Structure 1
C-alpha cells in the first residue's frame, strides 16, 4: 500500500511533473497543461487527489453530533448526498473545510492536505458522551476526481461524492495506480485548479487566511446553512449576514495576457487609477492559466472597492468580475 506521506505512484506516469507547496505529492501536470484542462472540461480523464486527507466518522450518533459542530445542516443528511461544511473558530473565522458524504453507515470527508491531524484532534475533543468514532483513513484511501460527464466506471463498494463538478471517489489506495492506468488520461492538479478558479470555488488555505469569514468567499449556502444554530462561530455568521457587511469580498480577475509571469498568491492589488504606488486594496489568492480564458485569478479585495474599478495585481492589469456582492 502506498502511504500518503510519500509521493503518489502516478508520479511515475509518463511526463509527470511533481507539484510543489500544499499540493506536493501529486503531479502538477503530465506535460500538456492545456490538453489536460480540455480533457477535464470535456468530461474525460481523472485527477489524482491522493494527497488529500480522508477522515471518517462512524457510530449511531455521527450525523446528529456532526450537526452540532459543522456550519452545514447534516442531522438528516440522506445517504449518498454530497455536501460541504466548515468548522469555525469562536470568532467565526474559518479553520477547516470538509467535503462530505454519508454512505448510510459512515460519514466520509476529504480535507486539505495535512489538515486531518488538527481536525481529528478537535473532533476527538468534542466527543463527550456521543456514540461516535473518528478515524484517519488517509493511509487506506486515496481521493480521485472524475469530471462531470465522465463515463469511467466506479468500482463496486467504492464510496462516491457526486457534485455538479464531478465525482470524488474514496478509492482504496492500493488500487490507485491500476485504476488510473485503466481510466486515464491522468490530469494534473494545475488543470484541476484552473477549472476551480474559473468556477469561482474557494479553497481553504488558498482563499483563506487567519481572519477569513465564510461570507467573504461566497461559502454561505454551499457550506453554511443559515437556518441552523448551535455551532461554534454561529453568532458571527448571523451578525454579518444580518448586517450584510463582510469586510472583504472574493473577486474573479481576468489578467492581462501580455504579461509573461502570473501574479502569485499574495501579490498586492491596487486600483489601476492609483498606479503601482497606490494604496493596497487586496491580494491575489490563486492564479492560473486557463485553456480558453487565458490568465485568470481569484483575489480578496476590500468591500468598498468599486465593482467596475480596473485593478493592478502586482504590476499586471486586471479586470474584475463580482463573485461576492459588496
Structure 2
C-alpha cells in the first residue's frame, strides 16, 4: 500500500464538515474531498460566470531542496527547468524508457525551494523515483503535507474583494507568496481564469472562510472535473494507461505553451520516443472529447472500451462527468485513424466524438520532410 503521508492527505478534508458537502465516492481517487456542496450545476456555473473555490487538498506534496534541485530535475524529466525563474511554475512528466507516461506533476520554485504536487495516488511512486535518482546531486526530495491545494475558477477571480485579497499573477504559471506562508500560482487551465492556492494545511479552513467571504462560491471536484474535461486536459491514471505517450495527451510543449514536454532540451529517459513521434511519426491514439447519450441506463466507467458499430474496440474511456451545458461527456483515447463522425459506443452509452476536439493531423514534421527530400518527393 502507498505511504498515506505521500499518496494523499492522511485524513478526510476538514472542509467536508461544511453544510451541504458531499464526499466523493468511496474508491474514487478524489475520496476525502467534496464532490459537490448540494447543487453541482450551479457550482459549475459559478466557476464560469463568477468565481468558485474547489478543495483539492488531497493532492500529494513533495518538497525539493538543494542548490542543484532544478538542474537535477531538468536532467531526469521532460520539462526544461534550468532557466526557470524564481517564483515560477511548470508542468512536468516522468517517462519510462519507451516514452510512456509514468508521472505528471506541477512544480513551483519559490525562494530556494521547489514545491511539487501531484495526483493523490501517485505521490509515493513519484517520491520513490526522485529519491532513487539523486545520486550525488545537491537535491533533497522529501514527502510534505505542509501545503494544501485550493483552486479558484472564474472571471471574478480578478475583480472585487478577491482581487484585493489575493495577489494573483497575470502570467500563467507565475507564483506569488501569500502572507502567513504558501503561495498563489496562476494556471492556464481548466479555464482562462484559474489559480491554485497552496496554503499551510493548518490554515486551510481559515483561507476557505476568507475566500468565500470575499465572494467565492464553494464548489466540489465535480465542477473542477467538468471544466477540465471540457478543456481536454488529461489526468494521470484516469485518462492515461500504461501505453500512453505525451503526444497522445496534448502534453507537448514548454512552459510558454502550457505543455509538459520541452522539445529542445538535453537527454532524458523516454526522449527517443518523443523525438521520433515529433519528427517522423504520429501518435497511435488521440485524446478526444466524447458526447454521451444521456438517455442511456448508466454511464461508462474509466477504462471501459470505446467500440464501433461493428464491435471493434478503438479506444479507452477516461474521465466521465455531467457538464452543466454539454450534458454527459467523457475524455477518451481513441485510435488516430477513427473519423470524428464514426458511430461509437462507450459502456452502455452511444457516443460521438466532438469534431472540435480532434487534434490537427497535418502538422509539419521536420524529420519526415527531410526524408521526403532525400527521396525526391
Q: Say whether the fold is shared (TM-score over 0.5).
A: yes
d(CA) in 2 for partners of 1:148, 1:79: 26
d(CA) in 2 for partners of 1:131, 1:236: 29
1:146-295 paired onto structure 2 within 5 Å? 146-149=152-155, 150-151=157-158, 152=162, 153-154=165-166, 155-156=178-179, 157-165=181-189, 166-184=194-212, 185-221=217-253, 222-272=259-309, 274=310, 278-295=311-328
d(CA) in 1 for partners of 2:56, 2:250: 24
The structural deviation recorded for 1:148 is 4.4
Distance 1:164-1:72 versus aligned 2 partners, 3 A rule: same
Instruction: Please tell me whether residue 87 in structure 1 is matched to residue 94 in structure 2.
Output: yes
Partner of 2:30: 23
1:67-146 paired onto structure 2 within 5 Å? 67-138=74-145, 140-146=146-152
d(CA) in 1 for partners of 2:31, 2:21: 13
Please list every run of 5 or more consecutive structure 2 residues that lacks an aligned counterpart in the other structure.
Answer: 167-177, 254-258, 362-377
The structural deviation recorded for 1:127 is 1.1
> Secondary structure of the residue that 1:285 maps to in structure 2?
strand
Please list every run of 5 or more consecutive structure 1 residues that lacks an aligned counterpart in the other structure.
Answer: none
TM-score normalised to the size of structure 2? 0.81
Say if 1:217 and 1:324, in contact at 8 Å, map to a contact too: no
The structural deviation recorded for 1:305 is 1.2
d(CA) in 2 for partners of 1:323, 1:179: 39
Partner of 2:11: 6
The structural deviation recorded for 1:263 is 1.9
Which is worse superposed, 150-159 or 169-178? 150-159
d(CA) in 2 for partners of 1:323, 1:29: 30
Say if 1:54 and 1:109, in contact at 8 Å, map to a contact too: yes
Which of structure 1's runs of 4+ aligned residues deviate more than 3 A? 322-326
> Secondary structure of the residue that 1:82 maps to in structure 2?
strand
Say if 2:13 and 2:32, in contact at 8 Å, map to a contact too: yes
d(CA) in 2 for partners of 1:239, 1:76: 25
d(CA) in 1 for partners of 2:351, 2:9: 38
The structural deviation recorded for 1:97 is 0.6
> Secondary structure of the residue that 2:88 maps to in structure 1?
coil
d(CA) in 1 for partners of 2:33, 2:347: 29
Say if 2:299 and 2:347, in contact at 8 Å, map to a contact too: no
RMSD: 1.8
Partner of 1:311: 344
TM-score normalised to the size of structure 1? 0.93
> Secondary structure of the residue that 2:235 maps to in structure 1?
coil
Distance 1:46-1:39 versus aligned 2 partners, 3 A rule: same
d(CA) in 2 for partners of 1:174, 1:262: 38
The structural deviation recorded for 1:260 is 4.8
d(CA) in 1 for partners of 2:232, 2:124: 28
Count of aligned residue pairs for this structure pair: 320
> Secondary structure of the residue that 2:103 maps to in structure 1?
strand
Instruction: Please tell me whether residue 66 in structure 1 is matched to residue 73 in structure 2.
Output: yes
